[in-house]
Amino acid sequence: MQNENYLSIMSDRRNVMIGIDRILYIIMIRRNAEIHVSDGSVYKTRLTFKELEEMAGDGFVKIHRGCLVSARAIHDITDRVYLSNGEALEYAVQKKSKIIEIYRSKLKSIIGSFDMNGIPTTDEEFRNHYACFDNLPVAFTDIEMIFDDERRAVDWIFRYANAALARLEKLPLEKLIGSSFGSLFANMDTKWLRSYERAALYGETAEIIDYSPEIDTYLKVICFPTFKGHCGCILSDISEMKIARSSGGSEQALMLYIGKLTDKSD
């Protein structure tokens, strides 16, 4: 059964409602179907692949006889289908051209359907919208993703940035605003695109801890959706971060945090 933008299925003897926008892919394992969602959960159901294909709707690409992938979740298609969460799926390589054609068509439709109402259109409107971030001691920016003709995320534009971001990026604020990242940094590392793409297209919140060769700094970045096709980023220089350990509970919280980061990197 399908209710608007949800899939209603029986999984583990209980009824589960799954938001279609949260589904990464659906794959058949013998007679069972596994529905993989963006938070890492996997739901098993006895529905047939044909039933799930009809219920999922038009935003999915059939990459082989028993696997359906959300077009939003696909980062690239080369030797395998690479997803925005880092997973890679096998596909019917002999149908590569057709699968890519269908994927691009669906992604074009998704991006074309973005509701632009309420999105600032000028630098001044962005500044007014984010005025409360101007004096924040933490670096913050709102970026607009740039897609190529194949609807792949290839760069982003700084639509808003505060003074703390300018200091972190080691560039004047007026040079950042309205410029693409690639035009400012010739050594742009594309690893950032995957997480920003997930936030802008899939509505996810993600945390990245990695080295930025562009500014020779180890960063912690939290990215989250703002407007359609945009995401907000809070950035911290790890070398400047201070951890207040006030109790035994804070030690446990820190170990849990480090453990989750280790799990994500495996």
User: Encoding tokens for residue 245?
Assistant: 């350990």
Task: For 219, list phi and psi in degrees, rounded to 5.
Answer: -120, 150
Give residue-wise pLDDT tens across range 111-134.
776 666 789 999 999 999 999 999
Task: For 103, list phi and psi in degrees, rounded to 5.
Answer: -60, -50
Q: For the residues 237-266, what does the mean pLDDT come to? A: 68
Nearest by Cα to 233 from 266, 186, 200, 189: 200
- The fold for domain 123-240 equals Beta-Lactamase (3.30.450)
Give residue-wise pLDDT tens across range 88-117.
999 999 999 999 999 988 887 877 766 667
pLDDT above 90 as % of the chain: 55
Where do the structural domains in the chain lie, given as residue ranges? 2-112, 123-240
Q: For the residues 225-235, what does the mean pLDDT come to? A: 93
> For residue 81, with 0-12 CB atoms within 10 Å meaning exposed, 13-18 middle and 19 or more buried, which class applies?
buried
Report the range of poorest mean pLDDT among 54-58, 102-106, 174-178, 243-247: 243-247
Q: Are 20 and 30 in contact (CB under 8 A)?
A: no
Q: What per-residue confidence (pLDDT) applies to 110? A: 76
Q: Report the alpha-carbon distance of residue 218 to residue 215 in Å, rounded.
A: 9
- CATH superfamily membership of 2-112: LytTr DNA-binding domain (2.40.50.1020)
User: Encoding tokens for residue 33?
Assistant: 């179907």
Question: What pTM was estimated for this model as a whole?
Answer: 0.68
Q: For the residues 23-48, what does the mean pLDDT come to? A: 92
Q: What per-residue confidence (pLDDT) applies to 202? A: 74
Q: Are 18 and 35 in contact (CB under 8 A)?
A: yes
Q: What per-residue confidence (pLDDT) applies to 185? A: 94
CA 198 to chain centre: 1
Q: Are 73 and 83 in contact (CB under 8 A)?
A: yes
Q: Report the alpha-carbon distance of residue 197 to residue 191 in Å, rounded.
A: 11
Going along 14-110, which residue ranges are E strands?
Answer: 14-19, 23-29, 32-37, 42-45, 60-64, 67-70, 74-77, 81-83, 88-89
Q: What per-residue confidence (pLDDT) applies to 217? A: 95
